[in-house]
Amino acid sequence: MTTTRRNLFKLTGGAAVGAMLTPAPWRLITDSALWSENWPGIPRPRRGEVTFQFGNCSLCPAGCAVRARCVANQPVSLAGVAAHPLSHGALCAFGIAGHHLPYHPGRLKSGPAAEANQAVRAALGQLRGAERCAVLDLRPGRTASWTYRRAMAAIRNGVYLAPAAPIAINLAAAKTVFSLGAPLFDGWGTPGNVIAARDHFRLIQAEPVESRTAIMADLWLPIRPGSEEALALGIANLLLKEKKIAGLPAGFADRLREFPPTMAAMHSGIGEQQIAALARELQDNGPVLVLGENGSPYAAALNLILGAPGRTLVLRREAPVPDDWKKAAPVADLASVPDGSIRVLLIDESATGEALPWSAIQSKLAEKAVVVTFAWSKEGYGRQAAFTLPTAVYPESLDDIPPAVDSPAAAFRLSAAWVAPPDGVVNPADFVAGLAGLAAKDALQERAAAIRKSGRGSLFVPSSATSTPARDVKPDDFWKMLQAGATWIDDLDANAPAPKLDVPALPAGTASSAFPLVVVVTEPDTPALVSPLLSKVYQESNLRLAPESVALHPSDARACGLETGSRARLETDCGSVAVNVTVDSDVPPGVVQVAGGPGIRKICGASSRARVVRS
Amino acid sequence: MANAMSDQADKELISRGLKRCSTPRFVLWMLPWVALLIFGLYAAGLCLVKGLNQTNMDNRFAFGLWIFLDLTVIALGAGAFFTGFLVYILKLRELRAVINSAVVIGLVCYSGAVAVLMVDVGQPLRAWFTFWYPNVHSMLTEVTFCITCYLTVLAIEYLPIVLKNRKLREVPAFLVFEFQLHKLTYVLAGVGTFLSFFHQGSLGGLYGVLRGRPFAFREGFFVWPSIFFLFIISAAAVGPSFILLTTCLVQKISRKRLVRVEVLRLLGRISGLMLAVYVLAKTVDTLIWINRTSPERGFPASQYYSWNPFGTWILFAEIVLFGLVPALVLLTPRLRARTGWLVAAAAMACGGVALNRFVMTVQTLALPTLSFDRFLSYAPSWQETGTFLAVVAYGVLVYSFSFRYFRLFPDERELQAAVPPTDTREADPILAGRY
Amino acid sequence: MTNPNKPVKAARYGMAIDIDRCTGCGACMVACAVENNVPPAHAGANDRKGITWIRVYKVDNGGDGDGRRSAFVPVLCQQCGNETPCVHVCPQQAVDVDPATGIVGQMPERCLGCRYCMAACPYHARYFNWWDPAWPAGMEKTFNPDVAPRMRGVVEKCNFCHGRWHAARQQATAEGKPDTEPVAYLPACAEACPTQAISFGDLNDEAGVTAAAARGRDSFRLLEKLDTDPKIHYISKREWVRRIADAPRPGDGKESRRG
Amino acid sequence: MLPWNYGFAWNTGHILFLGAFYTVLVIIATTVVSALWRSRRSLRAHQTEEIRWHSDFHDLPAADRVCRHVLTGEFKKRECPHAFDCRECETHAKLIERHPLTVIAGPDEDVFGMDFPLDRYYHRGHTWARLEDDGTVTVGLDDLGRRLLGAPDSLELPMPGDHLTANGTAFNIRKRGAKVRVLSPIDGEVLAVDGPAGQWRLRVKPDSTDERAFRHLLRGPEVKPWLMREMERLQLALTAEGAVPTLADGGEPVSDISASYPGTDWDAVCGKMFLEG
């Protein structure tokens, strides 16, 4: 037959129809569905060998143990270590996403290290008279802290400044915990430890707002804002009826007289009988632990009165250090330094701890002072310092984590260092040691050796979840295991003396009318950087107050002319910071509920007062 | 000169003996709508390119303006199928006078709704999945299938109207095809009725089957909840009303008599009849729902109406004010005879059905289901509104075009004999713009 | 997933969440996002446009001042077992219930983004990708390889960490266990909860702690009367907390920032 | 959707749903295809003219579709079911059997001063046909038709050899915007076109000279009543187009009517008179 065009058409047509009858074309269409999955711009997860690594979280002083699931040695998810004697497997929201920090957009990757070094050396060269070179360490007790102290001892007029370490707390020993607004269940101490001990003590929370701790408490006393003092004194009144207590600060007795239970009831809004009952309970149901905001004299006083020292407040030995480290500068308090005397100030904020208001630091600086800060981001003192040098972030930096406040025994553990830090970062300890011509590269290893040599304590190995006496571990294994996330925990020495509890001086009372609002902190102190995924709790739900934001009662908000979402300045006597405002009827009137964040924490100290100004 | 020639060419396209405004005036009339269309297309483009974050919908208000208006528009477009059904199946020949217009309206409504739906879904490229992996238990599948089929039917029904154009008709092939296709229209009308019956219903079913939303959930029989049938009846009721409205509107704008007033009254009567049935059924359904369906699922019906602004007034407005009242007006010959009443009642009927669609869409989503979530509000973004305005403009354009060049109203020519054509030279061009 | 020809001992994975133990810390929400490669919020996102497969709500007893008491309730996909509302409405079978696990699965690659399932869900446990997902440069290194990130315009929700289930199943098979037996595993949220408030397990396993907790006197389920048979059981000793299971009561509509 | 697709199952739901869907598709497709196929067939069969006439006739207002026997008063009212093709109309056959139409040869009828000789058949589209002795048929425009169109602006006549169909287009005429096709009275082949301008005729060789072939045309006694009706229609058309009626007074239509109604839409008038709708 001849191939005319007509035949050709017929052929193709027939072929097409025939093809339709086979599954082939339909299969093709079905598969094309898969192609539409590859939506442009969506990164594909990497593949690789899955391994597990152990370490400790250095985001906060708790230093919880972490198990990282790694793909090709890159941590992709973090979890607690269940059997861990200190953290008991708990990990907070920040810790769980800690492995994102190296990729945080706000993270510093390079800085003027050379220039800073030059400037500092120049300044050191021309120190006049009593002008000092100071290191401000926000998380004392680390090996790095020892390096600083040694360096400062070696440098002329060197001073080592750090916040006073609080007395260790033995939560396990407490039968009653009376908290004056301490965030026991929200970022206090070691979360896992608190939760583990929870079933053994009765928790009484006196706080104006129903914080997470208040919700978890056995008894919540919704006191009037700023009336912690009144309540404490009211209770102290009742407790002190019979016995006299030594060591109470000057003027305490006078202040006590101002607050008989009736007054306390009037101020705090808690019934007089209830206060009496509370006092009785605290007396009968010991051992008692009274917690207040950091440096609250009233909590300390009550602890003293109730005989907490030696029972719930214990003296903690420090982890051993090499003997040749002993000639080190003493730990000094910033307040003890005369004003205008610091010529060179080196601030290490790479390990978050208690933040000091810049105003307090500023007054101590000499003119032409050189301030260098070592930080993850520009958000901290970087705003004021001349030089901000980037440091390795968690989980890049190899550092040790001192025991948390609720750890009665000394501990030594290393922060996780699973990810290689960028080239631009500086190790603050090395920088400072360099100034003093000190070799501190292997400080951690030296200290580990010293600890092992002491033969004290035991070593917990997370991979096997076993504790072995330190003396049974081979010296070089000891260091290896520490690097693999092991924790050394000191033995409790039975015959340790009760700690000397000195109650801080009472603050000058009478709130100034300039700051009408009482500051209530209900969010944990957030690290300088948090994973972008925390948006789940800050932004994509209203579970937590976002960093650098405050919540006000509708009436107060109206008074300040603010509504939800408006920008404002939070002002205290320590300075001011820009914040976002949320209006919330759950916040009692007269209270400004503040979130975490370096900015806010620097200006909001213990029971401070504030005002919110529209900006 | 060229202008005159193009004007002449344009006249050649208009059917013999029909008075239509001059070409420039027609262009003048179309311009604003074209502008609106372009704006709307831009808004829709934003939603397609940047994603649905351009809208004010959110996880709780998963449906918004678009779904509400789609439901309304499709209900109004039901005139096409219902009139077709009456003319070709029930042989109600009087309605021939509006059937063409009805088809165009139907086409506009359905194609517009489908277009908006394409913007509304997050992954329009996957629209065909519904046909490929259909979940036959989903009301939405039923809707998708029926609407696409019916849109095809409408397109085919529209074809003869186009081919009858005076110029096209000169092409023998067109002439013959139109003739043959017209002979088979009754088949399409039948299919259209079948399809419409199901998708109008399943549009209601969409909400009726939401077991998790006791406000919308209804019992029913077999797979169809009661709303399924309510939607069919209400659509059939409001379809003729909408044709009535549009016809009157076109008569006003074009200043012509297009259909005999008896036809309008007939439409009104049919509408009123269906509406009455609807109101009755709706009332019974509501009572059952309040007293059995809702309480059985743990939701006392009273609470739905205690969140402002959705008080019981909305129930009253839906059933009585915009249901019973127009139904009675349309069923009262004396009132029906008065064009004012006729039109007003038809408008109210349309409003009532729109309100019903609004309630089913917006109130359903606004009401809290968990004891600890809140009553939510929602306001459409300009992109959402713009997208819908595009559909409106598109509708006006298509209709105006069809009205100018095709015979939408067969009786127009005979009727124009009766009224001496008014001189509109000094009248406002848009109003006088008789397309 | 499972071979339908084999007789499968079906599991009914579920949770028993002890509200009295929940501190509202949010670890579960973050852990979930980490595990399932959920992107961080777009700048324009809020609590109504965000994606949190598990969301902790703050609830209260409606009291004022001293009488006010609150609690935290984690809400995730309730994995309804009876006429699952979302499954029946999806027009293209992007949602299904795995008979072997009872888990309600969402197939983002087949999802059209019509959001009908979201309208159908009484627990608001489904989330739509309103934006193109975006991560800070380099953060994609931390993706979980077992879960594919979703694209814009599709719905997603909790699937009891299906990736983990799959891994567990593979391991079981590798260990030579019959693949008709349910496997034990732990979703990210349950693993992350510092107070172990979330207990996860097979509800068919009568002896299991989860099943036992779910049977307990103080256990309840949200909107049980809707008869969707949710597999998330909540536990609280407090009577007022147990009442959150009921339909909303008008007048309680307090404008709280929480939740 | 298809048995080998994901999620397909041989259960009632699928069978019912997809069954219905496919049925609908098939019905729609068949409708369109059969319409196409039929039109192809009619095009092949050169039925275009016939179809055009039918579709025109279908669009005529009912008043213009009346049966010829209504004109003569035999019926009160009756619509022509055969599109003016009485050749297959039994009713017509019976009626003319009962009393045949006899043409009384005599002086030509004078109607409104127009001449309508009775020696010929008239088509309702204003053409006439006369059977010549040589068996050919002469076809021409009748007097009213001529007066309506006057001197045409343009004229399309068929070529010799073209085939005409009864009720099909005989020729097209343009006049003052009016564009009308004039219907052919009979089937036949055009032999020649002659005659002076405006007076031209078509000489047609009819397919059959049998009486049946002319049965659908008006004759003798039918002419006058028909013409009277035509004048009414013309008047109606003119008023509809807004002209002042002048014929009512029996005034004779001038040789070129269009000239006396400059304002009117002549296209519409002619369309009506030449049954083009």
Q: What is the average per-residue pLDDT within C184-207?
A: 95
**pLDDT bucket at A291, cuts 50 / 70 / 90:** very high
Using the Cβ of B378 and the Cβ atoms of chain C, whether some distance falls under 8 Å is answered with no
Residues of D in contact with A26 (CB under 8 A): 2, 4-5
* Token representation of residue A591: 């209270």
Residues of D in contact with B179 (CB under 8 A): 39, 42, 51, 54-55
Q: What is the average per-residue pLDDT within A30-38?
A: 67
Q: What is the pLDDT of residue A35?
A: 64
Q: Is the pLDDT of residue D247 over 60?
A: no
Shortest Cα–Cα distance, B434 to chain C (Å): 41
What is the value of pTM for the model shown?
A: 0.91
Using the Cβ of D263 and the Cβ atoms of chain B, whether some distance falls under 8 Å is answered with no
Q: What is the pLDDT of residue A342?
A: 93
Q: What is the pLDDT of residue B236?
A: 94
* Token representation of residue D35: 């319409």
Residues of B in contact with A30 (CB under 8 A): 132
CATH of segment(s) A50-103: 2.20.25.90
Q: Which amino acid is at D235?
A: Q
**pLDDT bucket at D248, cuts 50 / 70 / 90:** very low
> Are A23 and D4 inside 8 Å of each other by CB?
yes
Closest CA to B208 of B192, B195, B225: B225
What percentage of chain B exceeds 90 in pLDDT? 77
Q: What is the pLDDT of residue A585?
A: 85
Rounded-to-integer distance, Cα A542 and Cα A536, Å: 9
Q: Is the pLDDT of residue B429 over 60?
A: no
Cβ-Cβ contacts under 8 Å for A157 (sequence gap 6 or more): A127, A130, A131, A132, A133
Q: What is the pLDDT of residue A407?
A: 93
> Are B123 and A36 inside 8 Å of each other by CB?
yes
Q: What is the average per-residue pLDDT within B41-49?
A: 96
Residues of A in contact with C51 (CB under 8 A): 540
- Look up the ipTM and state it: 0.89
Any idea where the domains of chain A sit in the sequence? 50-103, 113-165+318-489, 168-314, 517-614
Q: What is the pLDDT of residue A575?
A: 86
Q: What is the average per-residue pLDDT within C96-111?
A: 92
| Cα A123 → chain centroid | 33
Average pLDDT of chain B is 90
Using the Cβ of D7 and the Cβ atoms of chain A, whether some distance falls under 8 Å is answered with no
Rounded-to-integer distance, Cα A499 and Cα A501, Å: 6
pLDDT digits (tens, 9 = 90+) for D185-244: 888 888 888 766 666 788 888 888 888 888 888 888 888 888 888 888 888 888 776 665
Average pLDDT of chain D is 83
Do strands A331-332 and A158-161 pair parallel, antiparallel, or not at all (unpaired)?
Answer: parallel
Do strands C104-106 and C95-97 pair parallel, antiparallel, or not at all (unpaired)?
Answer: antiparallel
The CATH T-level fold of domain D50-273 is: OB fold (Dihydrolipoamide Acetyltransferase, E2P) (2.40.50)
Helices and strands counted in chain C (H then E): 7, 10
Q: Is the pLDDT of residue B421 over 90?
A: no
Could you tell me the CATH number of the domain that includes residue C188? 3.30.70.20
Instruction: Encode B44-71: b = buried (16+ Cβ within 10 Å), e = exposed.
Output: bbbbeeebbbbbbbbbbbbbbbbbbbbb
pLDDT digits (tens, 9 = 90+) for A473-502: 999 999 999 999 999 999 988 788 888 888
CA angle B329, B331, B333 (to 5 degrees): 90
SS3 state of residue A56? strand
Any idea where the domains of chain B sit in the sequence? 20-432
Do strands D188-194 and D201-206 pair parallel, antiparallel, or not at all (unpaired)?
Answer: antiparallel
* Token representation of residue A147: 């390096």
> Are B135 and D7 inside 8 Å of each other by CB?
yes
Residues of C in contact with A79 (CB under 8 A): 31, 191-192
Shortest Cα–Cα distance, A23 to chain D (Å): 8
Q: What is the pLDDT of residue A253?
A: 82
Do strands A331-332 and A342-348 pair parallel, antiparallel, or not at all (unpaired)?
Answer: unpaired
Q: How many residues does chain B have?
A: 435
Q: Is A346 in contact with A370 (CB distance < 8 Å)?
A: no
Class of domain A517-614: mainly beta
Shortest Cα–Cα distance, B320 to chain D (Å): 37
Any idea where the domains of chain D sit in the sequence? 12-45, 50-273
Rounded-to-integer distance, Cα A304 and Cα A324, Å: 37
User: Among B292-306, D76-90, D246-260, which is the least confidently predicted range?
Assistant: D246-260
Q: Is A234 in contact with A600 (CB distance < 8 Å)?
A: no
User: Chain A 11-40, CB below 8 Å of chain B: which residues?
Assistant: 29-30, 33, 36
**pLDDT bucket at C74, cuts 50 / 70 / 90:** very high
**pLDDT bucket at D142, cuts 50 / 70 / 90:** confident
Average pLDDT of chain A is 90
Shortest Cα–Cα distance, C16 to chain B (Å): 19
Nearest CB to B371: which of C50, C118, C249?
C249
Q: What is the pLDDT of residue D107?
A: 57
**pLDDT bucket at C203, cuts 50 / 70 / 90:** very high
Phi, psi (degrees; rounded to nearest 5) at C227: 65, 40
Shortest Cα–Cα distance, B259 to chain A (Å): 49
Nearest CB to C145: which of A46, A533, A585?
A46
pLDDT digits (tens, 9 = 90+) for B69-86: 999 999 999 988 999 999
Please indicate, yes or no, if residue C176 is contained in any of the structural domains. Answer: yes
Q: What is the pLDDT of residue B434?
A: 33
* Token representation of residue B181: 């296709």
Q: What is the pLDDT of residue A37?
A: 66
Using the Cβ of A23 and the Cβ atoms of chain D, whether some distance falls under 8 Å is answered with yes
Using the Cβ of D6 and the Cβ atoms of chain A, whether some distance falls under 8 Å is answered with yes
CATH of segment(s) A168-314: 3.40.228.10
Residue of B nearest to C126 (CA): B59
Residue of A nearest to B133 (CA): A30
What percentage of chain B exceeds 70 in pLDDT? 94
**pLDDT bucket at A34, cuts 50 / 70 / 90:** low
> Are A33 and B132 inside 8 Å of each other by CB?
yes
Please indicate, yes or no, if residue C254 is contained in any of the structural domains. Answer: no
pLDDT digits (tens, 9 = 90+) for A398-440: 999 999 999 999 999 999 999 999 999 999 999 999 999 988 8
**More confident: A85 or B125:** A85
Residue indicated by tokens 């995730």? C76
Using the Cβ of C71 and the Cβ atoms of chain B, whether some distance falls under 8 Å is answered with no
Q: Is the pLDDT of residue D81 over 90?
A: no
Using the Cβ of A26 and the Cβ atoms of chain D, whether some distance falls under 8 Å is answered with yes
The CATH T-level fold of domain A113-165+318-489 is: Rossmann fold (3.40.50)
| Structural domain total, chain C | 1
SS3 state of residue C209? helix
User: Among A85-94, A181-190, C153-162, D57-66, which is the least confidently predicted range?
Assistant: D57-66
Query: Which range of residues forms the domain containing residue C224?
Result: 13-245
Rounded-to-integer distance, Cα B352 and Cα B283, Å: 14
Interface test with C, best of B58, B61, B139 (most C CBs within 10 A): B58
User: Chain D 48-87, CB below 8 Å of chain B: which residues?
Assistant: 48, 51-52, 54-55, 59, 61
| Chain B: partners with 3+ C-beta pairs within 8 Å | A, C, D
The beta-carbon contacts of A579-582 under 8 Å, at least 24 apart in sequence, are A579/A548, A579/A549, A579/A550, A579/A612, A580/A546, A580/A548, A580/A549, A580/A550, A581/A549, A581/A550, A581/A551, A581/A552, A581/A557, A581/A612, A582/A545, A582/A549, A582/A550, A582/A551, A582/A552, A582/C257
